[in-house]
Amino acid sequence: MPKSTGMLHGGRENAGVKFSSCVGTKGTQYETNSMDFKPQKGKKVVALDPSPPPKDTLLPWPQHQNANGLRRRKRDWVIPPINVPENSRGPFPQQLVRIRSDKDNDIPIRYSITGVGADQPPMEVFSIDSMSGRMYVTRPMDREEHASYHLRAHAVDMNGNKVENPIDLYIYVIDMNDNRPEFINQVYNGSVDEGSKPGTYVMTVTANDADDSTTANGMVRYRIVTQTPQSPSQNMFTINSETGDIVTVAAGLDREKVQQYTVIVQATDMEGNLNYGLSNTATAIITVTDVNDNPPEFTASTFAGEVPENRVETVVANLTVMDRDQPHSPNWNAVYRIISGDPSGHFSVRTDPVTNEGMVTVVKAVDYELNRAFMLTVMVSNQAPLASGIQMSFQSTAGVTISIMDINEAPYFPSNHKLIRLEEGVPPGTVLTTFSAVDPDRFMQQAVRYSKLSDPASWLHINATNGQITTAAVLDRESLYTKNNVYEATFLAADNGIPPASGTGTLQIYLIDINDNAPELLPKEAQICEKPNLNAINITAADADVDPNIGPYVFELPFVPAAVRKNWTITRLNGDYAQLSLRILYLEAGMYDVPIIVTDSGNPPLSNTSIIKVKVCPCDDNGDCTTIGAVAAAGLGTGAIVAILICILILLTMVLLFVMWMKRREKERHTKQLLIDPEDDVRDNILKYDEEGGGEEDQDYDLSQLQQPEAMGHVPSKAPGVRRVDERPVGAEPQYPIRPMVPHPGDIGDFINEGLRAADNDPTAPPYDSLLVFDYEGSGSTAGSVSSLNSSSSGDQDYDYLNDWGPRFKKLADMYGGGEED
């Protein structure tokens, strides 16, 4: 355990003074193991403690009370810190110091400590013997967890009363070199431009040591262990041993030769002492970044290509270059420029982003008849400028020869669209113009033929050899095929080249209007009151022609028939409108056709006699036709109107009678009496069906035998016990139960059972007439029938089983059984 160093009050060091014990004010003792001290004025020295080592350190209590009861601060000992080395091997617990009060000679005293490491986490690092005051450390210390501890020592009597004021104890953990330097990153990445000068900064690596940085244990130094590859020198980089900065130390960095360096860096504590210090390593990867120190160079001095004339966006030739800089970077990407040979700008050179090749492309159509070949000079450079001191290579320029191929070009119309003006109505066969095309292939002897491509009204004809256009029909400006006075037709010009080529041209004919349409009267129908008043009919005219072949119009009434001018009069309002009104005081209601002559202002003028249908009718006070008057004006008299109303009334009466008859028939159908009233019936209704005939094999049977005779007087009486089964027996009929007027749901079952018993005992009740249906079952049947029982040749046939089938079959058993005896 290291020796403690004492400090006198006031902070002055007292090295070299040896003491074993001292006494503070009022006899508080401070014992130590071979500590050096020098007593201060006002203190007294006690005898040496003869006890064997380890010796105790008695700590003074700083404040005391004088005889007058007043407290004052005296010159006390300053408690020196207690130094404990970390990672001690023990044995534990290991004594650190002993605390004693001079009052323990008079009364028993208990000692305790508080603070972090005692009663606060981490707990119980330090302990104290409560009786002797000896303080111990209980386990190895770790400075990296806690570099120091601050405890307080307490002295109390057996009752817990404070005997002395608490004193502060400071414990410092002495650092040991037990931690290696640790790099922040295991791999560092940096970069440096190729061609950099020595001393160029590259990157910084950093390692931290958990030991005390104020001692050699935490002082880290760096060095480069290895460099891979060792080209062009094995020491291309150096590192600052204290800061970890890596810089270049030699020239010759060339990315095209070495693109990346791997440097192993070692960090060692103890100020880099490899014999005593602890070390760790990390990897620094240094990438040599590219600079544009290699100009692009063409792989050939000349290139060639060809392209058909009139083609655009076509690649003519591919120019290949070589650049040793980093691919797909601005230092590698090529930029091409045509410096001569293309004054009209027919070509451009674009860069292929993948291959970096230059693609000579046609951007403006080339005419073989004007240019048969081009000699281009192309220069290549990079997107990024060349590095300082690097010059362009003579191989950065190349020549490109482009040949133009002649192809068959289509004829074209020089004036497209061609516009001509003429009057409408020219006769067929009139020559309008010559619409000819030009063949651009001057070096080919080819003929051009013409044809119509679009002629909506079929008005035109074109000469196939010279393109002369004549009319095939009369041109009409008012036709539906004319828009805004213009008629448009399209023609085709084709040569006889291989392959043939053709071009189109459009001819527009502006038709000048002539007065070829007479005006039409508007409106075509009107109405007016039968007596003259203020109302009149306003009329105008419509003309398909245009100015000046339209209005002003002239409106007049014809002289024939004379009644027109007698009954009507027309008054001109202006050049386009006139009014038609009655001339006489009264005109019988009805429809009248009034002819009016309308004449336009064309040269020569055209006139037309139009008929207007005028309805003359009685009017009310407002001058409007009444309803009856309108009908009368339509040509129907009073008698006809009355007849129509009578017919409508008769039709409605017939419809009403038919509806009443249908409702009455429906009511009669629903008034049939049922066994149970529909209101009381909660079951399905039992419907009574009419008589049904037999099957297909029963059609020949005489069903009249089943009918009940109207009178029984003509039937002779028969012997008792013998009767026919196909006729109704003669005898008294049993009394059936009478249905109650208001049946109760509980009585329905009783009512049905009583009726069933009465029917079973009634000899006149069915099925006497249905036995014949059961007698006959068709021919060819392998089954026996009831009738076969009668004709059986067996004399001992047993019919007793029929008695089990009910009263009706019991009669059969008796009948057939008795007949055999007869």
Which has the higher per-residue pLDDT, 806 or 470? 470
Question: Within this chain, do residues 118 and 162 fall inside the same structural domain, yes or no?
Answer: yes
pLDDT digits (tens, 9 = 90+) for 580-624: 888 888 888 888 999 999 998 888 888 889 899 998 888 877 767
Q: In angstroms, rounded to a whole number, what is the distance separating the alpha carbons of residues 800 and 785?
A: 17
Inter-residue contact 211 to 179 (CB < 8 Å) = yes
Question: Within this chain, do residues 209 and 305 fall inside the same structural domain, yes or no?
Answer: no
- Map tokens 């047993």 to a residue: 798
- pLDDT value of position 56: 56
Mean pLDDT of 244-260: 93
Question: Within this chain, do residues 279 and 342 fall inside the same structural domain, yes or no?
Answer: no
Q: Please check whether residue 336 lies inside any domain of the structure.
A: yes
Q: Please check whether residue 140 lies inside any domain of the structure.
A: yes
Which has the higher per-residue pLDDT, 261 or 33? 261
Question: Within this chain, do residues 283 and 351 fall inside the same structural domain, yes or no?
Answer: no
Inter-residue contact 601 to 547 (CB < 8 Å) = no
Last residue of a domain, one of 512, 545, 575: 512
Rg (CA), the chain: 69
- Map tokens 């293309």 to a residue: 342
Which two structure tokens, joined as six digits, stand for 279? 């070390």
Q: Is the peptide bond before 414 cis (omega within 30 degrees of 0)?
A: no
Which has the higher per-residue pLDDT, 58 or 73? 58
Question: Within this chain, do residues 508 and 526 fall inside the same structural domain, yes or no?
Answer: no
Output the average pLDDT for the chain.
79
pLDDT digits (tens, 9 = 90+) for 5-45: 333 233 333 333 232 333 333 333 333 333 333 333 333 33
Burial zone of 294 (CB within 10 Å; 0-12 exposed, 13-18 middle, 19+ buried): buried
Q: Strands 525-529, 607-617: parallel, antiparallel or unpaired by DSSP? A: parallel
Residue whose C-alpha is closest to residue 386's, from 338, 332, 435, 336: 332
Q: State yes or no: pLDDT of 528 exceeds 70.
A: yes
Which two structure tokens, joined as six digits, stand for 276? 């005593």
- Which of 228-237, 559-568, 797-806 tops mean pLDDT? 228-237
Q: Residue 106 has what DSSP assignment?
A: T
pLDDT digits (tens, 9 = 90+) for 294-304: 999 999 999 99
Q: In angstroms, rounded to a whole number, what is the distance separating the alpha carbons of residues 98 and 95?
A: 8
Phi-psi region of 199 (alpha: psi -120 to 50; beta: other; left: phi over 0): left
Q: State yes or no: pLDDT of 91 exceeds 60.
A: yes
Q: In angstroms, rounded to a whole number, what is the distance separating the alpha carbons of residues 181 and 278?
A: 7
Which has the higher per-residue pLDDT, 716 or 632? 632
Question: Within this chain, do residues 493 and 542 fall inside the same structural domain, yes or no?
Answer: no
Q: In angstroms, rounded to a whole number, what is the distance separating the alpha carbons of residues 395 and 375?
A: 18
Inter-residue contact 403 to 372 (CB < 8 Å) = yes
Q: State yes or no: pLDDT of 520 exceeds 70.
A: yes
Q: Residue 271 has what DSSP assignment?
A: G
Read off the amino acid at residue 821.
E
- pLDDT value of position 689: 53
Number of domains in the chain: 5
Write out the E strands in 231-357: 237-239, 245-248, 260-268, 279-289, 297-298, 302-308, 315-319, 321-322, 334-340, 347-351
What secondary structure, in 3-state letters, does 440-465 show? CCCCCCCCEEEEEEECCCCCEEECCC
Question: Within this chain, do residues 446 and 477 fall inside the same structural domain, yes or no?
Answer: yes
Q: How many residues does the chain have?
A: 822
Which pLDDT band holds residue 767 (cuts at 50, 70, 90)? Answer: low
Q: Please check whether residue 750 lies inside any domain of the structure.
A: no
| pTM for the predicted model, two decimal places | 0.46
Which pLDDT band holds residue 507 (cuts at 50, 70, 90)? Answer: very high
pLDDT digits (tens, 9 = 90+) for 143-171: 999 999 999 999 999 999 999 899 999 99
- β-partners of residue 554 are 599
Burial zone of 529 (CB within 10 Å; 0-12 exposed, 13-18 middle, 19+ buried): buried
User: Chain centroid to CA 150: how far?
Assistant: 68
Which two structure tokens, joined as six digits, stand for 31? 């014992």
Percentage of the chain lying above the pLDDT 70 cut: 73
Q: State yes or no: pLDDT of 315 exceeds 50.
A: yes
pLDDT digits (tens, 9 = 90+) for 672-685: 544 445 555 545 55
- pLDDT value of position 529: 86
Q: Is the peptide bond before 743 cis (omega within 30 degrees of 0)?
A: no
Lowest mean pLDDT among 324-338, 539-553, 637-651: 637-651
pLDDT digits (tens, 9 = 90+) for 159-209: 999 998 999 999 999 999 999 999 999 999 999 999 999 999 999 999 999
Question: Within this chain, do residues 351 and 397 fall inside the same structural domain, yes or no?
Answer: yes
The range of the structural domain enclosing residue 468 comes to 418-512
Q: In angstroms, rounded to a whole number, what is the distance separating the alpha carbons of residues 291 and 331?
A: 7
- pLDDT value of position 306: 94
Q: Strands 397-405, 302-308: parallel, antiparallel or unpaired by DSSP? A: parallel
Q: State yes or no: pLDDT of 59 exceeds 50.
A: yes
Say whether 165 sits in a helix, a strand or coil.
strand
- pLDDT value of position 497: 84
- Which of 295-304, 541-550, 601-610, 658-667 tops mean pLDDT? 295-304
Which pLDDT band holds residue 704 (cuts at 50, 70, 90)? Answer: low
Q: In angstroms, rounded to a whole number, what is the distance separating the alpha carbons of residues 740 and 621?
A: 78
Question: Within this chain, do residues 268 and 349 fall inside the same structural domain, yes or no?
Answer: no
Q: State yes or no: pLDDT of 821 exceeds 50.
A: no
Question: Within this chain, do residues 211 and 282 fall inside the same structural domain, yes or no?
Answer: yes
Q: Strands 63-65, 71-73: parallel, antiparallel or unpaired by DSSP? A: antiparallel
pLDDT digits (tens, 9 = 90+) for 772-781: 444 445 455 4
Say whether 248 sits in a helix, a strand or coil.
strand
- Which of 60-69, 355-364, 669-678 tops mean pLDDT? 355-364
- pLDDT value of position 763: 67
Q: Please check whether residue 485 lies inside any domain of the structure.
A: yes
Q: Please check whether residue 556 lies inside any domain of the structure.
A: yes
Which two structure tokens, joined as six digits, stand for 605? 């003028």
- pLDDT value of position 264: 97
Last residue of a domain, one of 289, 320, 349: 289
Q: In angstroms, rounded to a whole number, what is the distance separating the alpha carbons of residues 105 and 479?
A: 144
Last residue of a domain, one of 452, 477, 512: 512
Residue whose C-alpha is closest to residue 727's, from 737, 739, 714: 714
Inter-residue contact 729 to 764 (CB < 8 Å) = yes
Which two structure tokens, joined as six digits, stand for 351? 């860069």
User: Chain centroid to CA 422: how far?
Assistant: 61
Q: Please check whether residue 694 lies inside any domain of the structure.
A: no
Which pLDDT band holds residue 535 (cuts at 50, 70, 90)? Answer: confident
- pLDDT value of position 667: 80
Q: Please check whether residue 807 lies inside any domain of the structure.
A: no
- Map tokens 């459009």 to a residue: 506
- pLDDT value of position 757: 79
Q: State yes or no: pLDDT of 223 exceeds 90.
A: yes
Which two structure tokens, joined as six digits, stand for 88? 């001690």
Burial zone of 447 (CB within 10 Å; 0-12 exposed, 13-18 middle, 19+ buried): exposed
Inter-residue contact 261 to 235 (CB < 8 Å) = no
pLDDT digits (tens, 9 = 90+) for 106-146: 899 999 999 999 999 999 999 999 999 999 999 999 999 99
* Sequence-separated (6 or more) residues with CB below 8 Å from residue 548: 601, 602, 603
Question: Within this chain, do residues 202 and 283 fall inside the same structural domain, yes or no?
Answer: yes
Kindly report the CATH number assigned to the domain that includes residue 240.
2.60.40.60
Q: Strands 82-85, 162-174: parallel, antiparallel or unpaired by DSSP? A: parallel
Q: Strands 418-423, 260-268: parallel, antiparallel or unpaired by DSSP? A: unpaired
Inter-residue contact 511 to 485 (CB < 8 Å) = yes
- pLDDT value of position 822: 37
Lowest mean pLDDT among 146-155, 693-702, 718-727: 718-727
Q: Please check whether residue 661 lies inside any domain of the structure.
A: no
Q: In angstroms, rounded to a whole number, what is the distance separating the alpha carbons of residues 344 and 355?
A: 28
In this structure, the dihedral spanned by the alpha carbons of residues 320, 323, 324 and 326, taken in order and rounded to 10 degrees, is -110
Which pLDDT band holds residue 671 (cuts at 50, 70, 90)? Answer: low
Element (H, E) at 227: strand 221-228
Question: Within this chain, do residues 301 and 397 fall inside the same structural domain, yes or no?
Answer: yes
pLDDT digits (tens, 9 = 90+) for 779-788: 554 544 444 4
